[in-house]
Amino acid sequence: MNILLLGSGGREHAIAVKIAQSTQCDQLFIAPGNAGTAACGTNINLKIDDFSAIAKFVLTNDIRMVVVGPEAPLVAGIADYFAADSRLKEVMFIGPSAHGARLEGSKDFAKQFMQRHNIPTAAYRTFTAETLDEGCRFLTTLQAPYVLKADGLAAGKGVLIIDDLAEAQHQLQLMLVENKFGEASRSVVIEQFLSGIELSVFVLTDGKHYKILPTAKDYKRIGEGDTGLNTGGMGSISPVPFADKDFMHKVEHRIVMPTIKGLQKEQINYKGFNFIGLMAVTNDKGERDPYVIEYNVRMGDPETESVFPRIKSDIVELFEATAKEKLNLASLHVDERTAACVVLTAQGYPESYKKGDVISGLDEVSGVTVFHAGTKFDDKDRLLTNGGRVLCVTALSDTLPSAILKSIQNAELIKWKGRYYRHDIGQDLLKLLCK
């Protein structure tokens, strides 16, 4: 069958590689894609928020399956657009309805959903400009640090964690009254700070059944030792060593099952990925308990670049089973090895950065997969940087230390002016293993 994948980052390159490997895939189109996805199929110059142009492309190219990478078109209702059109509704669509996508698009919706279904998460309250004074008083009842979350999508910047009470109250005012994050901060969720280790759990669901994909941990800060500004992600490791059988049993029973049951009970049409950001909090007995920090309605980036290379099953068969609500009949086989992914960024990222530098050294790497995030070819077929996050180097190996070493050694071989990467991806997990 012909398949269309929407998106243009490292996540989409990793998904495109798996789709292209499938015996079920005839032609793969990626819109808009990047220089890496061009090697897996055909890049198409379509805007992912232009639903009618996407629909036209699907109809004229006999596309039988659409897979959505990023959240924005899902929150804007692309799945519903397809479902409502008699010519498109038979197309297998991987991505939830706008209703389902509210799990990511509205923090307040997600918190209420978790509350309704007894899913462990931080205690919270939601405030608007009208209830600003109440919000400021509520902050005085909490202990520092204070967690303030813009309700809507804010390009990953809408969460503030603040040590000082007066500053937290000031920021609350800026968010609610001065529209610090625009429309996204018309409502603000204030929640209890959870202390622990974060990890990401990925679920593929057809709305009734589910498969838990490999776990991963990502590294969001720009600086080594998790310092400096937040980024789109500087690397990832899969699996997370402490997410053992006991921990994952808790995750499945306390979080994944009630989430899927909740979607069903509320008749939310959800066929796609559910990415659960978790905090593993140590309890009185010294055991780790999972709490939900956030839901996303897509795969993570750069987690996909370490999770997808470990999926051995045919991904298109899994997607087909998802679309047909037969995921219970599909099987998921996972490579037991560890994947380490190191992200190479442009100088200056995540603040302003330069594009258009010539990338060299890609022909020197060996034994790793290099996923493209922000790249393009110029008219002389030279590979150029075309984003803040440029490339992701993923190594698979039998042990975590050797996977880390392999990805770092190969990352070092790839060069352009000012390229940067973190040398400490996975080091925190290594320390935990040695404890």
Residues at the interface with ligand AMP (CB under 6 A): 122, 147, 149, 159, 161, 191, 193-194, 198, 277, 293-294
For the beta carbon of residue 307, count every other beta carbon within 10 angstroms. 27
Nearer to ligand AMP, 111 or 372 (CB): 111
Least separation in angstroms between CB 49 and ligand AMP: 22
Return the residue nearest ligand GLY (CB atom): 300
Nearer to ligand AMP, 160 or 408 (CB): 160
From ligand GLY, ligand AMP, none, which one binds at residue 301 (CB under 5 to 8 Å depending on kind)?
A: ligand GLY
- DSSP H helical ranges for 142-274: 165-176, 245-250, 257-265
From ligand AMP, ligand GLY, none, which one binds at residue 48 (CB under 5 to 8 Å depending on kind)?
A: none
With beta carbons less than 8 A apart as the criterion, state whether 117 and 287 touch.
no
Residues 273-312 that bind ligand GLY (CB under 6 A): 296, 300-301, 303
Nearer to ligand GLY, 259 or 296 (CB): 296
With beta carbons less than 8 A apart as the criterion, state whether 200 and 218 touch.
yes
Q: Which of 67, 81, 71 is nearest to 37 (CA)?
A: 67
**Prior bond to 350 cis, omega within 30?**
yes
Least separation in angstroms between CB 233 and ligand GLY: 4
Tokens 């039998």 correspond to: 398
With beta carbons less than 8 A apart as the criterion, state whether 195 and 161 touch.
no
* Two tokens, residue 344: 């190479």
DSSP letter (8 states) at residue 182:
G
Least separation in angstroms between CB 352 and ligand AMP: 22
Widest distance between CA atoms in the chain: 62
DSSP string, 93-159: EES--HHHHHHHH-HHHHHHHHHHTT--B--EEEEEGGGHHHHHHHHHTSPSSEEEEESS--TT--E
With beta carbons less than 8 A apart as the criterion, state whether 149 and 187 touch.
no
Question: How many chain residues touch ligand GLY (CB under 6 A)?
Answer: 6
From ligand AMP, ligand GLY, none, which one binds at residue 406 (CB under 5 to 8 Å depending on kind)?
A: none
Half-sphere CA count of 176, side-chain side, radius 13 A: 22
From ligand AMP, ligand GLY, none, which one binds at residue 196 (CB under 5 to 8 Å depending on kind)?
A: none
Least separation in angstroms between CB 263 and ligand AMP: 20
Least separation in angstroms between CB 298 and ligand GLY: 8
With beta carbons less than 8 A apart as the criterion, state whether 240 and 347 touch.
no
Nearer to ligand AMP, 32 or 277 (CB): 277
CB within 8 A of 111, min separation 6: which ones? 121, 124, 126, 189, 191
Least separation in angstroms between CB 38 and ligand GLY: 23
Nearer to ligand AMP, 106 or 205 (CB): 106
Nearer to ligand AMP, 162 or 204 (CB): 162
Least separation in angstroms between CB 273 and ligand AMP: 16
CA 41: distance to chain centroid?
A: 23
From ligand AMP, ligand GLY, none, which one binds at residue 218 (CB under 5 to 8 Å depending on kind)?
A: ligand GLY
Residues 229-248 that bind ligand GLY (CB under 6 A): 233
Verify binding: residue 218, ligand GLY, rule CB under 6 A.
yes
With beta carbons less than 8 A apart as the criterion, state whether 304 and 351 touch.
no
Query: Using CB under 6 A as the criterion, what x/- string covers residues 160-199 for binding ligand GLY?
Result: ----------------------------------------
Nearer to ligand GLY, 63 or 147 (CB): 147
Least separation in angstroms between CB 230 and ligand AMP: 8
Least separation in angstroms between CB 127 and ligand AMP: 16
Residues 70-99 that bind ligand GLY (CB under 6 A): none
**CA 407/CA 392 separation, integer angstroms:** 9
From ligand AMP, ligand GLY, none, which one binds at residue 159 (CB under 5 to 8 Å depending on kind)?
A: ligand AMP
Verify binding: residue 320, ligand GLY, rule CB under 6 A.
no
**CA 252/CA 297 separation, integer angstroms:** 17
Binding residues for ligand GLY, rule: CB under 6 A, are 218, 233, 296, 300-301, 303
